[in-house]
Amino acid sequence: MGSERVGDEGAFISAVYGGNLTGYTVPMALTDAQLAEIDAARAETRPTLRATVPALEEILHVPLPVLDHGFVRVIDYMGDDAAVVQAARVSYGRGTRKVSEDRGLINYLMRHRHTTPFEMCEIKFHVKLPVFVARQWIRHRTANVNEYSARYSVLDREFYIPAPEHLAAQSAVNRQGRGAVLAGEEAAHVLALLRDDATRSYDHYLEMLNETESGERRDPTRDGLARELARMNLTVNVYTQWYWKTDLHNLLHFLSLRADPHAQYEIRVYADAMAEALRRWVPMVHEAFLDYRMGAAMLSAKMLAVVRRMLAGETVGQAESGLGAREWRELMAVLDRA
Amino acid sequence: MGSERVGDEGAFISAVYGGNLTGYTVPMALTDAQLAEIDAARAETRPTLRATVPALEEILHVPLPVLDHGFVRVIDYMGDDAAVVQAARVSYGRGTRKVSEDRGLINYLMRHRHTTPFEMCEIKFHVKLPVFVARQWIRHRTANVNEYSARYSVLDREFYIPAPEHLAAQSAVNRQGRGAVLAGEEAAHVLALLRDDATRSYDHYLEMLNETESGERRDPTRDGLARELARMNLTVNVYTQWYWKTDLHNLLHFLSLRADPHAQYEIRVYADAMAEALRRWVPMVHEAFLDYRMGAAMLSAKMLAVVRRMLAGETVGQAESGLGAREWRELMAVLDRA
Amino acid sequence: MGSERVGDEGAFISAVYGGNLTGYTVPMALTDAQLAEIDAARAETRPTLRATVPALEEILHVPLPVLDHGFVRVIDYMGDDAAVVQAARVSYGRGTRKVSEDRGLINYLMRHRHTTPFEMCEIKFHVKLPVFVARQWIRHRTANVNEYSARYSVLDREFYIPAPEHLAAQSAVNRQGRGAVLAGEEAAHVLALLRDDATRSYDHYLEMLNETESGERRDPTRDGLARELARMNLTVNVYTQWYWKTDLHNLLHFLSLRADPHAQYEIRVYADAMAEALRRWVPMVHEAFLDYRMGAAMLSAKMLAVVRRMLAGETVGQAESGLGAREWRELMAVLDRA
Amino acid sequence: MGSERVGDEGAFISAVYGGNLTGYTVPMALTDAQLAEIDAARAETRPTLRATVPALEEILHVPLPVLDHGFVRVIDYMGDDAAVVQAARVSYGRGTRKVSEDRGLINYLMRHRHTTPFEMCEIKFHVKLPVFVARQWIRHRTANVNEYSARYSVLDREFYIPAPEHLAAQSAVNRQGRGAVLAGEEAAHVLALLRDDATRSYDHYLEMLNETESGERRDPTRDGLARELARMNLTVNVYTQWYWKTDLHNLLHFLSLRADPHAQYEIRVYADAMAEALRRWVPMVHEAFLDYRMGAAMLSAKMLAVVRRMLAGETVGQAESGLGAREWRELMAVLDRA
């Protein structure tokens, strides 16, 4: 990918790839064929009568790097902020003549969970991600997926090894959380185990397939184990890739769960990259999403009763609150009184 | 919509609207505001890096007339034939280096019901349709819908009255089918009943709403019945409208059921209009769909056994076939031996 | 249905049907054949190794009357409170050895929107409802439905006419809401219009079908209009019926939207009847649902900021709140400061 | 599980477990706690007014062994053959008075792909399966799933090692198929690699977790790596488990794809075990499924044209058929003329 193309893609790509696009150092996940495909896809525009979003077109097809070998790239989209408004207005019909402007309507829809207008926009991503992240991700069922098939093809030698600052110990208080970062010899030992086991498993995978790294047959006298069997020797940090397409409503749902601090770090970084695409694509929806979803909190009937008593001047402790210890802590955290 | 614009839209619009676009006689279903919206939407193109389909752009936003007041118009789309191929190839990865060309791959996917690559394309329609048609249509759950709300707004005075040639008697042999066309006085009487009842119900709807045709209040001293209640007086041939968005796989499923001769005529004509959009959008998929879905037949194990015996030269009648009378007739129909 | 059976069904049925089951006065919606079917279904129990819920078995198959001719009846179910807990524990595996008791776990799942364990329970209803209610209901797509087909069969002469106390005027402030109840001559006039139009439309429906009330052919020399066409003359307050099956998670979602004060009264009463079934079926889930869903409120980031300032002793008005007028009113309502 | 209970469970369990239930040798996948849970679940029946299926109750909760450590067991169900019929009849209403008996109706529904009545039955399985099988399985989105969480809990030391007779070479003609079985040293070498790598990866998993086999902490001075990270070292043949619940229509769809010879052997054996449950649960549906789905073939328009020409006495070869080489082979295979 020549530096000639940098200018076309604008400041964003420089920011992502450090201005040094030749060689495209970051996403080593991309093959030359894929880079050429991206180049071709971005080489010329075509005219359309559909809604377009220039800020998203700027990064269309361009991989946003995630983790050590992964990426997210938007490869297609349908609709924009206005398409949400338009769909809401077909529902409200004549009645909306007086409804105030678009931003207010989008905020209203988000606040009152009128979700169907958000389903009118669609986005398609190409994602490279470790198998154990894919296993969490796929639980979101309202999406369309085409994944690289290891029954059919041979996987690349790429597996996720955490950066030292993400090598966290098990949390002592949260069974699905992380504690302090490991350090020193312990960290080095863990990294060595991860790297050695993944490497050895991959070496043996190729050996069982009777294939060389470049896809040649090693021993011409035999066939090698079936791909669909050999793959079972790979560790779940091996990278896979897929096309993943969803509507805006379901994307917001995905992000609200996966861009959340309770999500595992390794999927959260994917959600973060997708949130950047969201911001470019539908800025009004993005803003409403931050206010009414990501930054919002659901207060139960009992929690609301506590807040009302507090606002009435009463001093309420957990004992008088009717809340369990855990719920009380959650409420105090929401109210910044932790 | 001025005649200046006709040239831009090409031969298709002339064909649909008889070359006399000024005044737009056919789809009386469209208000001036909607016509202006269509004009605006078609007024200028924007550049995009996404896949575009010129044959579909030609009719983008333009209503294809259906029934007496209805229409279907494509208002957005994502992907094309190549997007299906691209998704299939991410699944097959390196392995597809030798797979033959695109058409063969699409045929293969269709034949073997590999449906996920077809989910990678998406299309959005704006549809005006009678309520009883909407009730059948909505049973297809894997779609996104925003319908005009009669809780919120007042419906227009538009209801479906069949053309005389579609005024069919109940079939004597098929409980959900049509028999001969009614004629003479009987037909005239039916049409008069349909028209009178729909008109009277609508008149009373406005009366209960305390509204004039143009949306003014009739009697300024009272509020009128709530819209959400008054609507219950309308007959199910009243027209509603919605945005309906689905992926290509589910569109094909919809068309295979609704463009079928067993579907009710009044929904089949919508399916036919959408099939025309399909043909423009993804011509290779459309052709494969005709061959492997619309023109295909599923033969049961017992039916296949009969065919094999026939091919072996045996003369097989229903009695020796192991099939029930109805299945036998269905098989003979498929084999053109009815 | 003989009074001998009353004792078997317990106090609930007495409460619903006033202790006078013979003749089953309330749900005139039921035919004798349906009553006999219910009798047969309740006549004897069978042994099972599945989870059973006696409180729900008490009303199994029994129609709970809704509106003037409608009903809801539970006809099958799968799972109970313990099935939710069991599913959550398979997720948490060994780790849950120390997790506290079932109620706490269910509350936790509900509070943190861990929805999949609730999907492990399933319920099936038989519902009789007006078409305009069915049209709202069917928008919930994650359910299984089999509806009475008016293409295939003839609908009964039953339409919804609101009780006088539900004959509300259009709200002046909320476009999809109700205002004061109509009274006097205006109310009488509206009721007469609704009754007359529905009756006339139904009369003409039968006339076009060439059928008598009892299903005989009127004029033996002709076939009558096809059922799929004749039905288009019916008003949307005609009753239809369906089987509707969903999982517990989606039932809760349905109830949270349809048992809500913003829902139209005519669907809310169905939701209320289903909520009664919910209470009997999964009492712990029902209680958690009331606290964390029905009685809860989602506060946006900006709303939370206002609450925090108030709790810190600041006097905040709308002007200083950063909230729009509408949001401010919504917040004050939640905080009981309206 | 004492031999006293064998009599209660009937001949099936004897057949599965060789009559030697004490010790339950086959599914070593089950812990003592799980065996006790099964015993408890089968210890006594409860009365219900719901439909019950004695042939399915016979094996309810009992694990059917699959692969070397896996199993499938039915843990709940809703409905039976009659529930399908009942749902179809609500759709057809009065009109079905004359429709012939249940079997004929079920066959008709299956043949004409009237799928909604099949959605009225539901079944819930508990499954233990290798991760790479789970990855294929989860692509069926219309199901409810709760999977054991390796973020939260520690996985057991169990991984799938193929039996020697399933250690197949890559097919030379089908990129996702298997060829001849490996033999001799090559087979032994592959098995050793699979076993060694899985074992070593699991050993290191525990080491990184700082846990012993029995769940004790090894080095009391440190926390061990977070579970959500340590798991990434496991190979995809490690076993996981889940609850999987779906409706009958979607179960048939799953089985039609996964009990098919083109499916990978390791998922096909799960489908086979589920098909056995299907046969016990809904015998009429099962039979119709074999005839109209598993044993059926979809013939394209062009294929049908060829069959008609052959039946008319014409000798047709590929050259004159209009079919590609691959389609021609597929057609010949269906017609047993390969």
pLDDT in tens, A33-90: 777 878 888 989 999 999 999 999 999 999 999 999 999 999 999 999 999 999 998 8
Counting as contact any 3 or more CB pairs under 8 A, the partners of B are: A, C, D
Of B96, B122, B154, the CB nearest to A94: B154
**Beta carbons of A157 and A271 less than 8 angstroms apart:** no
Q: Report CA torsion sign: D266, D268, D274, D280.
A: negative
Confidence of residue B8 (pLDDT cuts 50, 70, 90): very low
pLDDT in tens, B208-244: 999 999 889 999 998 899 999 999 999 999 999 999 9
Class for domain D3-160+238-294, per CATH? Answer: alpha beta
DSSP letter assigned to residue A143 = S
pLDDT in tens, B144-188: 999 999 998 999 999 999 999 999 999 887 777 899 999 889 999
Please give the pLDDT value at position A3: 28
pLDDT in tens, B27-57: 555 677 777 878 888 989 999 999 999 999 9
**Chain B residues in contact with A31 (beta carbon < 8 A):** none
Share of chain B above pLDDT 70, in %: 88
Distances (CA, A) of B294 to A214, B161, B176, B280, B330: 44, 29, 21, 17, 16
**Cβ A294–C304 below 8 Å, yes or no?**
no
Q: Does C45 touch chain D (CB under 8 A)?
A: yes
Structure tokens at C33: 């054949």
**Beta carbons of D274 and D72 less than 8 angstroms apart:** yes
CA A19 to chain centre: 24
**Chain A residues in contact with B94 (beta carbon < 8 A):** 153-154, 215
Closest to B267 measured CA to CA, from C243, C239, C229, C236: C229
Name the residue with tokens 């041979």. A154
pLDDT in tens, A27-36: 555 677 777 8
Of A49, A87, A241, the CB nearest to B57: A49
Name the residue with tokens 């007496």. B68
Q: Does D167 touch chain A (CB under 8 A)?
A: yes
**Cβ A232–D179 below 8 Å, yes or no?**
no
- DSSP for D315-330 reads ---HHHHT--HHHHHH
**Chain C residues in contact with A327 (beta carbon < 8 A):** 107, 111
Distances (CA, A) of A121 to A72, A115, C306, D316: 19, 11, 33, 50
Class for domain C3-160+240-294, per CATH? Answer: alpha beta
Share of chain A above pLDDT 70, in %: 88
CA C226 to CA B172: how far, in whole Å? 10
Annotated catalytic residue within C42, C73, C227, C258? C258
**Cβ D304–B296 below 8 Å, yes or no?**
yes
CB burial of residue B10 (10 Å; 0-12, 13-18, 19+): middle
**Chain A residues in contact with B126 (beta carbon < 8 A):** 90
Of C42, C49, C94, the CB nearest to D57: C49
CA B236 to CA C232: how far, in whole Å? 5
Q: How many CB atoms lie within 10 A of CB C257?
A: 16
DSSP letter assigned to residue A42 = H
**Cβ B299–D299 below 8 Å, yes or no?**
yes
Q: What is the ipTM of this complex?
A: 0.90
Q: Is D141 one of the annotated binding-site residues?
A: yes
Which residues of B are catalytic, by number? 258
**Beta carbons of C142 and C179 less than 8 angstroms apart:** no
Q: Is A138 one of the annotated binding-site residues?
A: yes
Q: Does D84 touch chain C (CB under 8 A)?
A: no
Q: Is A139 one of the annotated binding-site residues?
A: yes
Which residue type does D319 have?
A
Confidence of residue D275 (pLDDT cuts 50, 70, 90): very high
Class for domain A31-147+242-294, per CATH? Answer: alpha beta
Please give the pLDDT value at position D115: 95
- DSSP for B30-76 reads S-HHHHHHHHHHHH--EEESS---HHHHTTTTPPEEETTTEEEEEEE
pLDDT at residue C1 tops 60: no
Helix H or strand E encompassing C15: helix C6-17
Mean pLDDT, residues D84-104: 72
Of D76, D95, D148, the CB nearest to C91: D148
The three-state secondary structure class of A256 is helix
Q: Does C211 touch chain B (CB under 8 A)?
A: no
Instruction: Tell me where in chain D the CATH 3.30.1360.170 domain(s) lie.
Output: 3-160+238-294
H-only helix segments in chain A: 6-17, 32-43, 54-57, 81-92, 102-111, 131-137, 184-209, 227-230, 248-258, 265-281, 283-289, 301-311, 318-321, 325-334
**Chain B residues in contact with D327 (beta carbon < 8 A):** 107, 111
Mean pLDDT, residues C78-82: 97
Strands (E) located in A131-183: 144-147, 168-170, 178-181
**Beta carbons of B285 and B81 less than 8 angstroms apart:** yes
Q: How far is C278 from chain B (nearest CA, A)?
A: 25
Structure tokens at C26: 């309330």
**Cβ D193–A178 below 8 Å, yes or no?**
no
CA C117 to CA A144: how far, in whole Å? 23
pLDDT in tens, C139-180: 999 999 999 999 989 999 999 999 999 999 998 877 778 999
Q: Is D114 one of the annotated binding-site residues?
A: no
Mean pLDDT, residues D186-211: 97
Share of chain C above pLDDT 90, in %: 76
**Beta carbons of A284 and A106 less than 8 angstroms apart:** yes
CA A296 to CA D252: how far, in whole Å? 42
Share of chain B above pLDDT 90, in %: 76
Q: Is B94 one of the annotated binding-site residues?
A: no
**Cβ A200–D200 below 8 Å, yes or no?**
yes
Which residue in chain C has the smallest CA separation from A292?
C300
**Chain C residues in contact with D215 (beta carbon < 8 A):** 94
Confidence of residue D137 (pLDDT cuts 50, 70, 90): very high
Q: Which CATH number fits domain B3-160+242-294: 3.90.1150.10, 3.30.1360.170, 3.40.50.300, 1.20.140.10?
A: 3.30.1360.170
pLDDT at residue A98 tops 50: no
**Cβ A324–C291 below 8 Å, yes or no?**
no
Share of chain D above pLDDT 70, in %: 88
Average pLDDT along chain D: 88
Closest to D49 measured CA to CA, from C50, C6, C2: C50
Strand order across the beta sheet in which D70-78 lies: D64-66, D70-78, D122-130, D239-247, D144-147
Q: Is D249 one of the annotated binding-site residues?
A: yes
Of B95, B116, B311, the CB nearest to D311: B311
**Cβ C311–A337 below 8 Å, yes or no?**
yes
pLDDT in tens, A153-204: 999 999 999 999 999 999 887 777 899 999 889 999 999 999 999 999 999 9
**Beta carbons of A296 and C299 less than 8 angstroms apart:** yes
Please give the pLDDT value at position C4: 30
pLDDT at residue B336 tops 80: yes
**Beta carbons of D103 and D137 less than 8 angstroms apart:** no
Please give the pLDDT value at position C276: 95
pLDDT in tens, C31-46: 777 778 788 889 899 9
Three-state secondary structure along C116-168?
Answer: HHHHHCEEEEEEEEEHHHHHHHCCCCCCEEEECCCCCCCCCCCECCCCHHHCE
Q: Is A116 one of the annotated binding-site residues?
A: yes
Which residue type does C239 have?
Y
**Chain D residues in contact with A208 (beta carbon < 8 A):** 190, 193-194
Q: How far is D48 from chain C (nearest CA, A)?
A: 5
**Beta carbons of C39 and C86 less than 8 angstroms apart:** no
pLDDT at residue D280 tops 60: yes
Annotated catalytic residue within D258, D279, D280, D329? D258
Confidence of residue B4 (pLDDT cuts 50, 70, 90): very low
Closest to C299 measured CA to CA, from A300, A336, A253, A260: A300
